Each structure stands twice: as structure tokens, then as C-alpha cells.
Structure 1
């Protein structure tokens, strides 16, 4: 059994932004996504963004393993404040008995293109905020960089073939250099130790 007063060290992968530089530049002035530390935070955010109950939201998990939300058509890099992320994608919610839970989670972010392994960071951020959620990504997207032509592509229907040059794609995620991040959770709060 975990001791709630004892710090926990977790290791996640940090994904850099790999989307168009023009989008990053445009996003610099936008405020980062709202931090969701608890169910009341989510309730307040959904009250301010009621469309999210229908169309979902853009999310990232920041380098402290905290969930950030922004309206659905927001850029992930803006939601992340231009930083690397532990996860990024789209998230949907349901309302039941005067409370909300997370019903849909994907890793669909063409700006960060995270591996499906980012679920661990998403699960940690949701658990830390006390939000009920599915047991894994409800939509898993596989991104790969083609070793032949260098283009980044989305794998469809488990067909690991480049859409640009028809070369075989690797089975392992290879989009960009990613780094390990140590996060320490203390009393429900987290701090980043550093990147290795």
C-alpha cells in the first residue's frame, strides 16, 4: 500500500513539439491550458466551456504530470505554453449524477505526435486530479517517421507503410528525440526533478 505522505518518483517520456514552426510562433501569445488539479477545477472549466461536453477538449499533460485543458480547436503547443509534454491529444467528458468523468481520451496531436505509451502520464494526471476515466486510450493513434523519405505519417489500420513513398515503417515509435523526465509527487502535488 502506498504511503500518501511519502514522495513517489515516476519516470515519463517528454515529447517535443514537432509541428510547423509558424503554428508555434502564432501560439506563443496564447495563454496555456487551464490546470485541472481536481474535480471542482474540471467542473469550473466545463461551466466556462460548455461546448466541451459535446465536442471534447484539447489536452496536454505538462512536465509536472498535470492535466491542462483548452477548447477543442486549440493548438496543443498553445495549451502546453510552448513546452514539451508528457502526453497530448483530445479528451471527452460525460455528466452523470451531478458529476463529470472522462469518457474519451486519444493521443491525436499532430503537433507533438506522442506514442501510445503516453497513456501512463495521462492516467497519472487523471488519478492525481481524482477524475474517473477509461482504462486506456479510447483512440490510439500511431505516428511514425519514414526512414526512407523522412516524412512523418499516421499509421492507419495497422498498415505500417509510408503514405508518401510506400516504404515500410518501423513498428517502434521514432518521430523525434524524446527524453525521460523524473517527476516526484508529494502530497498530491508534483514537481519535475529534471530531464535525462
Structure 2
């Protein structure tokens, strides 16, 4: 079965602004690509020497990187993704990675596509997202929610959230 493709589910004005003002993420297909990208961001390192970035995995399975706090939709070049989140590099390896992207809301189950993209480089990585974020769409108020501690209740209106992932997906092959 083909992996799920996640579409952008954020506000149109943020998408349009991000696409107009930010380049698409840099494709990372090999260690040289990754090393060059990390070197180009040397001024963005944390005090401990690590580098945190925005990532997406495009529908072709390629890892795309953009500076931290970049909009995921800009990193993805406006298209659907197989996963999205934040990634931390320490000494060139992945030390932390999360599926936290409130603009695509990928499931934790999108991990295999991320693992495949990282293994293709190849780069040392964790065995799963180091932080797994669960997203739901509130059927009552249409708010995107992050489920914490198994509490399936909308933060905005208090309605019950569905236990199964329920955000819009992109059509496969688009």
C-alpha cells in the first residue's frame, strides 16, 4: 500500500505568504548534500552545537530541509508530503526528530517514510520519532488539535475528538 500523502491544512494566507517569501526546502539525497546544508547553517547552531531544522519528505521520498521556524508548506514547495516535522542534527547525525507540523498534521505512522529517506542518505538516526505528536480535527469547530496524554478533547470548544486520524489527505499521484 502506498504511503499516505498529507496536504496542507493551515490558513491560505500563511501558505501564500510562505510560498511567496521562502524558497522550497533543499533536497538531501546523500551525505555530501547533508554536510553542505549543515555547513551553510552554521550560524544557526544551538549552544550545544546541534542544529534544528524544519523537514518534509516529498511524495517522491526525498528529505527536504529548511531553516528552523520555516513554514513546512514552503519547505515542501507547496505540494503534499509523506511526512513533516522538526529534526535535530548533532555531529552530522539525527539526534531528535518529531512529526510536529501543525500545517500538515502527519500521523506518527508516517515514520517509515522518514526512516527510508534518512537511510537513503545514509545518516545515523533514532528508531522512531523521538517525540510522536497526535493530531485530530475537531468535528464540532474544525480546529486542528494536538492530543496530549490520550486526552481526545478539543482545546478550543471542548468537544470530543475522534480516536482515529481524521484530517484531509492529498490525492495519491497528485
* TM-score, with length taken from structure 1: 0.81
Q: 1:136-159 CA distances to partner (integer Å, 9 max, x unpaired)?
A: 000111110112222221111221
Three-state SS of the structure 2 residue aligned to 1:28 is helix
1:165 aligns with 2:174: no
Structure 2 unmatched runs, 5+: none
Three-state SS of the structure 1 residue aligned to 2:111 is helix
Aligned to 1:26: 17
Aligned to 1:68: 64
After TM superposition, list the pairs within 5 Å mapping 1:99-178 onto structure 2.
100-178=92-170
For the Cα contact (< 8 Å) 2:51–2:89, is it kept in 1?
no
Aligned to 2:2: 11
1:82 aligns with 2:82: no
Aligned to 1:7: none
For the Cα contact (< 8 Å) 2:4–2:169, is it kept in 1?
no
**Cα distance in 2, alignment partners of residues 165 and 72 from structure 1:** 31
Q: Shift in Å at residue 160 of structure 1?
A: 0.9
* TM-score, with length taken from structure 2: 0.91
Three-state SS of the structure 1 residue aligned to 2:4 is strand
For the Cα contact (< 8 Å) 1:59–1:70, is it kept in 2?
yes
Structure 1 unmatched runs, 5+: 1-9, 182-193
Q: Shift in Å at residue 40 of structure 1?
A: 1.3
Query: 4+ residue runs of structure 1 moved beyond 3 angstroms?
Result: 52-55
Q: Which has the larger radius of gyration?
A: 1
**Cα distance in 2, alignment partners of residues 177 and 46 from structure 1:** 31
Aligned to 1:93: 89
Give the RMSD, CA atoms, in angstroms. 1.5
Higher strand share: 1
**Cα distance in 1, alignment partners of residues 86 and 19 from structure 2:** 21
Three-state SS of the structure 1 residue aligned to 2:16 is helix
**Cα distance in 2, alignment partners of residues 108 and 34 from structure 1:** 19
Q: How many residues are aligned here?
A: 169
Q: Shift in Å at residue 63 of structure 1?
A: 0.8
**Residue range with higher mean Cα deviation, 124-133 or 45-54:** 45-54
